[in-house]
A and B are shown apart, each in its own frame.
Chain A
Amino acid sequence: MKKELIELRINGRMHELAVQPNSLLLDVLRQDLDLTGSKRGCDDSSCGACTVQVDGVPMLSCTMLAASCQGQEITTVEGISDGGGLAALQKAYGDFGGSQCGFCTPGFMMTVRWLLANNPDPSEDEIREALSSNLCRCTGYSQMYQAIRAVIEAERKSSQPELAGAKR
């Protein structure tokens, strides 16, 4: 199959790429751009390890054509750090043991980031529901909830005016 020239905007940077029309986004990210943070864990879009955000929505990059993402904003795990340091969610996953072998972690990062952006104070059930799109085989998910709750708690504290005022 002949390659075509496409433009993809990934983590805020534009890339011009020659890809086959049937190239999957995951393969282009991993092989053409060496953005190997997104993982392939299954054959049938059941594990969520390849989750990226397309225009802010978590999508499975293993079942999307790269060419179909032109003109959209793609965010991968490589694009979510906080100015070169760990974002609060990344730090919390480390501190609370939300990540063991780490293979599923990038996918979870993208899913949880979406959850918190759309629902800053999710209930226990809402967290479980959101996380059910991604599989983890190490943690039993418990320590992920702790990490997520800690991020929510920290966010709540920093956004409370009296506390924020006291800091200033």
Chain B
Amino acid sequence: MSDFSVIGKSIAMVDAAGKTTGAGKYTDDLSLSGMLVGKILHSPYPHALIKRIDTSRARTLEGVVAVVTGEDAPNQYGILPVGHDETALAVGKVRYVGDNVACVAAVSEGIAEQALELIEVEYEPLPAYFDPEDSMKAEGDLIHENRPNNIEKDYHHVFGDPEKGFAEADYVAEARYIANEVTHAAMEPHCTLAAFEVDPHSGKQGRLTVWSSTQVPYYLQHKLSLVLELPMSQIRVIKPLVGGGFGGKSEIIPLEIIAAVAARAAKAPVKITYTREEVFWAHRGRPRTIIDLKTGVKNDGRVTSVACKVIQDGGAYCSYGVVTILYSGALLGALYDIPNIRYDGYRVLTNKPACGAMRGHGTVNVRFAFESQMDEIAATLGLDPAEMRRTNLLKPPTVTVNGLRVLSYGLPECIDHVITRSRWEERRGKLPKGRGLGVACSHYVSGAANSIIRSDMPHSTVNIKIDRDGGVVVYTGASEIGQGSDTMTAQVVAEVLGCSLSRVRVIAADTDLTPIDLGSYSSRVTFMAGNAALRAAEDVKKNIVSAAARRMNCAPEDVVMRDDSVFKRDAEPAEIDAISSEAEAARGHVDGQILRGSVLQTRKEEGAKEQLGFEEAVVAAIDVHGGLTGTGSYAPPVEARGGKHKGAGVGPSPAYSYSAQVAEVSVDEDTGEVTVHKIWAAHDCGRALNPVAVEGQVIGSVWMGLGQALQEEMVWKDGLLMNPGMLEYRSPSSVESPEVECVIVESIDPEGPFGAKEAGEGSLAATIPAISNAIYDAVGVRLREAPFTPERVLAALRAKRGLKKIDMTEGIDPTQPARLREHGGSLWFRGKGPERHPLDPARQGTSAGGAE
């Protein structure tokens, strides 16, 4: 008999049937009577003043109910309190191609689209900034007036003594790495449905209900309150099923506010669903990043010092930017033991869609640089790259030089597993020509120890209600987005209460019903909402146990609840079979229960019982205590909240997950095409509460990393996204997706729920460098610019062989990238850019002299 009866077993998600039958409802599947369709007018310019908007013609079109513009909701908001720089619709100025200008609410999509054509907007184009290094030099025409040099935020951190560390080093490696921009491309396009109720007392527009595909219902409620000037209590946010997030729904996306503004103006429910192209413009993905990295090591591979300068191309709004740039620096720590760190981070504004949080937030691109450089150093010093990583392991429990507390640390086992399974030692360097192996590691937070909105509130709260029917209803604000949040919650509660999973019903993410939870981001749900669920279950269990102890005439400490039975410790339960006790209950034979079976409640005193069924115990507890409810909440301990320096709030987490991976690739030296044959991925997630779900998260992370490594890239030309479609963005299909062998490592975390930690993001970051290192092993070229597309690989191979140069990479050497590859340059506004199509509005602006 294992120690647990519910957790640790692979089970289908509690909402799986709704997904496989099509019965589950996502936001776009909902409709209300009288509902209108909202369509948004987007900016064709990357940077322009709005001189005039005339919506009168659109308003007169039959079927149009309302047209709203920036003036209808001018209050600023943003996900971060320090970054309130967005408005629902542009006020006076647009900042990227795709920025939101106006919204039409009409009786049909067709009419709404027709009406958009009738809105007249007069723009005055401004110089636009597309390259962050150019943008940082800007003195005039700033993207936001209160951000000099278009720098959203810069941080300069020194931990330990980096100069001394470099002086002590036997070898110092230094290089620039570039990772291009990627986006979430969740399968479900963003969608929001907003409806106002009429207040019965004032007779006016009253409460607002918003259904939205969001990872953060509570933050949405908060920002709606700011923009609409409604008390939060008058706003209800409901999250139906969400078709994938990956961070793209972890902040307030413009349509979520616009739908509410339009519904207010139209006095009718409004639903807005983004087209796929609009999803790409909404973006909030992983920014293009320039990383200048310097690592000093001793001859045995021990790292003595790291200096890292990061420039992120953040796009036109702050979004999560300040957090992203801090994560990039903070998570240099907590993977390896690095005694000295210098970090300079610049989050820069450009006239492109805003970047935000994406799976592995802030860490992925820097990890690519770091793990690649480690591989280069190992090659130079003649060390085994896997061994070099073992040389630099942390010795937990510890606090890193930059203030991150590490308690559980499964990285050594992760490395061992992938090295053994890939037969690394016997195969590395001995594979046929063009084939190679590469290793890399990564880690990630199990939730941020400090919340975005600084306060003392708990990060997660869970309530439980149990009634005489023996049903356990769990209320949690945690947001199921496909990662298994609801299933995890049900498992934890069922395990604590010793009841079957089928008794547990999870009501999640409805701000009227469920207590505040910060949402699904930074891999916080299992650790934080899981701990809150555990505490809530223990809270309610107390009362059941005390009543059961009375009935069984024993001490409460001796009461065991397991497998739907309540019995005395050391006394094997007579009937452990949950199915038969359920059958018993189904026949109505539950002592004291009057809801089913016999209408007459018999109250016979029959003395102390040896054992109770779950329902009997519940009934007994309600008879003694009245209602049976429990509540639990979680806030990270003070010791885990990090140091005191400016920016110390980002990076600390109560626990970190660890990952090690080996990738096996082959490179076609004639075409530059890289094929990944297999990836071995070991992930330390603490206790695996649902192994099949953990594997799904790890494989999914590795796969998403593979996409960023090989083919996914947002291609920009003068601030215009050239590939805003699933086909052009080239998310890998089943044909391009290799086998991923997942190994779960369980370093039981002392503070996680049953020892569990993060599983959904940490593995992504290791995949990209594992593949680049494998490419080096295969063909001897070191690609320092991701993704490793055929033209980049081929350019590198040709250069290595001394062949005639063919410019396939627009002047950027992928082995020594000096700047971001700009498809067309950032000079169009000066009339020096590439020839544009005569009908392109940007060209019309410049050639007509409007821009200059």
Contact = CB atoms under 8 A, between A and B. Distances in A.
B482 A142 contact: no
A41 B189 contact: yes
Given A46-B726, A91-B12, 12 more contacts: A35-B22, A36-B25, A38-B22, A44-B276, A44-B727, A46-B725, A86-B17, A94-B16, A100-B696, A103-B243, A106-B20, A142-B739
A90 B15 CA distance: 12
Interface string A101-132: 11111100100000000000000000111011
Contacts of B693: 97
Contacts, number: 183
A106 B188 CA distance: 13
Nearest to A36: B29
Interface string A72-102: 0000111001000010011101111101111
A103 B187 contact: yes
A39 B27 CA distance: 11
Interface stretch (A2-10, A53-61, A133-141, A149-157): A133-141
A42 B19 CA distance: 19
B731 A137 contact: yes
Contacts of B16: 93-94, 99, 102
Nearest to A90: B20
Nearest to B246: A137
Interface in B686-718: 692-693, 695-696, 699-700, 702-704, 706
A137 B12 contact: no
A46 B29 CA distance: 20
Contact of B734 (A77, A101, A128): A128
B159 interface: no
Given A99-B19, A100-B696, A46 B727 contact: yes
A96 to B, nearest CB: 7
17 contacts: A30-B29, A36-B26, A39-B243, A41-B188, A41-B189, A41-B726, A49-B187, A89-B20, A94-B19, A100-B482, A100-B483, A100-B700, A101-B245, A102-B16, A109-B20, A137-B246, A140-B702
B28 interface: yes
B832 to A, nearest CB: 33
B243 A101 contact: yes
A136 B737 CA distance: 11
A138 B700 contact: yes
B21 A78 contact: yes
A85 B731 CA distance: 33
A16 interface: no
B627 interface: no
Interface of B: 10, 12-13, 15-26, 28-29, 31, 184-189, 241-246, 273, 275-277, 481-484, 692-693, 695-696, 699-700, 702-704, 706, 725-727, 731, 733-735, 737, 739-740
A162 interface: no
B764 to A, nearest CB: 11
A93 B20 contact: yes
A140 B703 contact: yes
Given A43-B725, A78-B22, A101-B244, A94 B13 contact: yes
* Max chain B Cβ within 10 angstroms of own Cβ: one of A90, A105, A128: A105
A15 B18 CA distance: 24
Contacts of B273: 40
Contacts of B696: 97, 100, 138-139, 143
B482 A138 contact: yes
Interface of A: 30-31, 34-44, 46-47, 49, 76-78, 81, 86, 89-91, 93-97, 99-106, 109, 127-129, 131-132, 134-144
Contacts of B727: 42, 44, 46
Contact of A40 (B31, B189, B241, B706): B189
B737 A36 contact: no
Contact of A140 (B17, B22, B482, B740): B740
A89 to B, nearest CB: 8
B282 to A, nearest CB: 14
Contacts of B739: 142
Nearest to A44: B725
A136 B735 contact: no
Nearest to A108: B20
B408 to A, nearest CB: 25
Nearest to A99: B19
A42 B21 contact: no
B481 A101 contact: yes
A167 B186 CA distance: 45
A137 B28 contact: no
* Max chain A Cβ within 10 angstroms of own Cβ: one of B21, B29, B277, B726: B21
A140 B21 CA distance: 21
